[in-house]
Structure 1
Amino acid sequence: MEKLIVQNATVLFSNSAFFNKKVDVLVENGLIKNIGKSGSIQAKNATIIDGDGRFLAPGFFDLNCNFGEPGFETKEDLVTGAAAAAAGGFTGIALQPNTNPPLHSRADVAFIVNSARDLIVNVYPVAAISKNREGVDLAELYDMKLAGAVAFSDGNRSIQHSGLMSRALLYTKGFGGLVFSYAEDKSIAGKTKMNEGEVSTYLGMKGNPNIAEEVMVSRDLFFAEYNDTPIHFSTISCEGSVNLIRQAKKKGLKVTCDVAAHHLYYTDDEIISFDSNFKVKPPLRTKKDRAALIKGVKDGTIDAIVSQHTPHEVEFKMVEFEIAEFGIIGLQTVLPLLLKVGLTLELIVEKLAVNPREILKVEQPVLEEDQPANLILINPSELWIFDESTNRSKASNSPLFNSELKGKVDLLINKGHAIKLP
């Protein structure tokens, strides 16, 4: 990338002196070289990008992203996953350890760090808490931290052994590590496929009750308080969890949490269609839970929003609901979903770009001269079709596939490269 000028765009970098102002920005060889009032910047041989009606923001950062590599490359590899992330406006992703082998050793973490080095998206490995994600023995946490792990989680498996979770929190405290908790009591949740409530009763399906999540949130909050450690809860889904975390924050506990974008929009009513693309984990909850989650996002109880991008081959999703795998792809549809929910762009940027980096202590992008450009150009009113021609993932397991969406990222600049998205 040589010279590029974004003209007349509104700035959504909250740490910038130009916040909420219209500016021109000159980017040259990956660096921000000039920022000025609209119409004030000109440069020879520069590519001009019209930013009128568009918003300049820091690149999004996803705290919960699943690719397949290593072991499940037919679902998603690092290259296709990064392409999907970039198309959705993400310049950074925290990669979950749900691979084969899982990211449970220094070598596994180093493999991801080295393999992703040349991608336009910054990839940060989240390493497993336990060996093989079996929830029995602690993995080599400190070594993985040195190799580049930014946090520790057993991914979509909840730590059932209370002593192991407490020891993980205490051990990571010694070197400033962060534990992600996926809260689900398996003895309560069992092998359920959807939320427990009126819809599950109507359909005659055994449901996963809110209490299965709330019990584990409560347990891990006790451990965080007892060990005086930070803790982050991944993809909370119900009203009780929001209330527990809100109370914990008021007490002064070092707790953060995130919610998946699809839990802010969909409810368990969707399951009546038996569309396996609505089969996610944790399950879609009730309208009351959704309202509590949205309120939690707006009042600051919920710190971040994630895609929970979980790609699957067609043979794992185009089957009966009962036997279908959990998960949907979401990297390219987070922004349109959040706009449908009614969140403001300022709040979306806070929850998708600023707070995720703050949680992981990752450097924040800045809009300042002579600083590296890590930015996106958002067009909130652009209509586009999410289909085979626009999808950058290997997978297509999304309830939004082949539908018209509103809201898109037109331009992404990171690591010295620029992508103008079609």
Structure 2
Amino acid sequence: MNNILISAAKLVLPGHPHNGEIVDIHIENGNITRIAKKIVSKDKKQHIIDGKGCVVSAGFFDLHTNLGEPGLETKEDIKTGTAGAAAGGYTAIVAYPNTNPPIHSRSEVSLIVNTAKGNIVDVHPIGAISKKREGKELAELYDMQSAGALAFSDGNHSVQQGGLMGRALLYAKGFGALIISFPEDESIAGGNQMNEGEVSTYLGMKGKPNLAESLMVSRDLFLAEYNEAPIHFTCISTAESVELIRRAKSKGIRVTCDVAAHNLVFTDADVVGFDSNFKVNPPLRTKKDVKALIKGLKDGTIDAIVSQHTPHEIEYKNVEFHIAKEGILGLQTVLPFLVKAGLQAEEIVYKLAIRPRQIVGKKVPTLLEGSLANLVIFSLDEKWVYSVQTNKSKSANSPVFGEELIGKVKAVINHGQLVENY
């Protein structure tokens, strides 16, 4: 769409000359041509987006998305994954290497980059730290970065060998790359089903203790400090992890972290009904942990919020809880979850649009006159139903599927393309 007018939206972007103001924004051929309190146009062909009561900001950037491509396209492919991302307010996502084959060489990286070209949503591959994500031998990190890998992680396989993780940090540091740790000590976690605590005892299920996460956070912080290398932790979920990272930051260790949106609104008490859509990894924790996570977001210990979008076919979820696969859909529900968690517009913009880009060295869209339009328009109080009609994913494994949610993305604009949610 070549001629768009966003009317009467509140612009939220720290440092912008119109930050906090209600403005009209004119976009032509993908570029922001004018921002003013009132723009009058006589062009009858102009597409008008009513922004009254809405926020306009830089497009969201997700640091943790699981797509099925390559190899697991029945769960999700790049086309459906980016459709869900756009509906959730994202103009960029990173694709984790939880695929088959894993994204562990320049071939898979190139596949992702080339397949996603021309999309309204930018897709940045995350290369695997180890070959086949087996945690035994370093993958060709530099080769993958040259092909377009944004950072490196073994996805939902935590690197169990400390020596390998240390070498990865040291090697990546040499060419300015970021290592992302999914912190779980598998020997402590034991492949168990949910959080270890009163609820797991009540349900008679073996649980994953907080220690399984905090032990790995502690190890990797020591390794990052020893190698003087940056490290990012994804999907932290415990009060202990928040405190460890808070102390590390105060010591000057180059550490950042994120939290999955669902870990801010659900607890292990939600597992009582044995709904397998509440089965995630890391597991849903206690109210005490959720409180610590939100405090960590508020004080800056936790840098970003992610979707941890993990689609699964029905045969992997519509089964007994103990054999169901872990993970839920996330791209379209992050905003409603953050509204439910009590975050304000400024906090949402910082944790979803600004800080994620800074962590991986991407420029934050300026939304200045003359710049490319890379933005999202969203409402914090509009209601909508997450249903078969509104779901963009191939999968439907969400605990809020069929429910009315508060907080709706109205539209995203990027690369001269517009996607609206009606």
SS in 2 for 1:379: strand
RMSD over aligned Cα atoms? 0.7
Q: Which moved more, 1:42-51 or 1:3-12?
A: 42-51
Amino acid at match of 1:258: D
Q: Which residue in the other structure is 1:25 paired with?
A: 25
Amino acid at match of 1:61: F
State the 1:15 CA deviation.
2.9
Amino acid at match of 2:216: M
d(CA) in 1 for partners of 2:206 and 2:420? 47
Q: Which residue in the other structure is 2:257 paired with?
A: 257
Tell me, yes or no, if structure 1 residue 190 matches structure 2 residue 190.
yes
Tell me, yes or no, if structure 1 residue 237 matches structure 2 residue 237.
yes
d(CA) in 2 for partners of 1:106 and 1:48? 43
Q: Which residue in the other structure is 1:290 paired with?
A: 290
d(CA) in 2 for partners of 1:389 and 1:415? 26
Q: Which residue in the other structure is 2:124 paired with?
A: 124
Amino acid at match of 2:39: S
d(CA) in 2 for partners of 1:229 and 1:92? 26
Q: Which residue in the other structure is 2:145 paired with?
A: 145
SS in 2 for 1:322: helix
Q: Which residue in the other structure is 1:7 paired with?
A: 7
TM-score of the aligned structures, taking structure 2 as reference length? 0.99
SS in 2 for 1:281: coil
SS in 1 for 2:213: helix
1:172-192 per-position Cα deviation (integer Å, ceiling 9, x unaligned): 010000000000001111120
Tell me, yes or no, if structure 1 residue 420 matches structure 2 residue 408.
no
Equivalent pairs counted in the alignment come to 421
CA contact (8 A) 1:4 1:28 kept: yes
SS in 1 for 2:326: coil
Percent identity, aligned pairs only, is 59
1:132-178 per-position Cα deviation (integer Å, ceiling 9, x unaligned): 00000000000101111110000000000010000000000100000
d(CA) in 1 for partners of 2:320 and 2:120? 37
d(CA) in 1 for partners of 2:7 and 2:290? 38
Amino acid at match of 1:40: I
d(CA) in 1 for partners of 2:42 and 2:141? 50
Amino acid at match of 2:407: G
1:288-314 per-position Cα deviation (integer Å, ceiling 9, x unaligned): 001000100111000000000000000
Q: Which residue in the other structure is 1:166 paired with?
A: 166
Amino acid at match of 1:152: F
d(CA) in 2 for partners of 1:159 and 1:339? 34
Q: Which residue in the other structure is 1:91 paired with?
A: 91
Where does 1:8-407 land on structure 2 (aligned, <5 Å)?
A: 8-37=8-37, 39-44=38-43, 45-407=45-407
d(CA) in 2 for partners of 1:168 and 1:117? 29
TM-score of the aligned structures, taking structure 1 as reference length? 0.99
Gaps of 5+ in 2: none
d(CA) in 2 for partners of 1:191 and 1:93? 28
d(CA) in 2 for partners of 1:185 and 1:324? 21
d(CA) in 1 for partners of 2:334 and 2:166? 33
Gaps of 5+ in 1: none
State the 1:42 CA deviation.
2.1
d(CA) in 1 for partners of 2:85 and 2:15? 24
Amino acid at match of 1:330: G
d(CA) in 2 for partners of 1:151 and 1:101? 18
1:368-400 per-position Cα deviation (integer Å, ceiling 9, x unaligned): 111110001111111111000000000000000
CA contact (8 A) 1:24 1:41 kept: no
CA contact (8 A) 2:87 2:420 kept: no
CA contact (8 A) 1:317 1:324 kept: yes
State the 1:43 CA deviation.
4.9
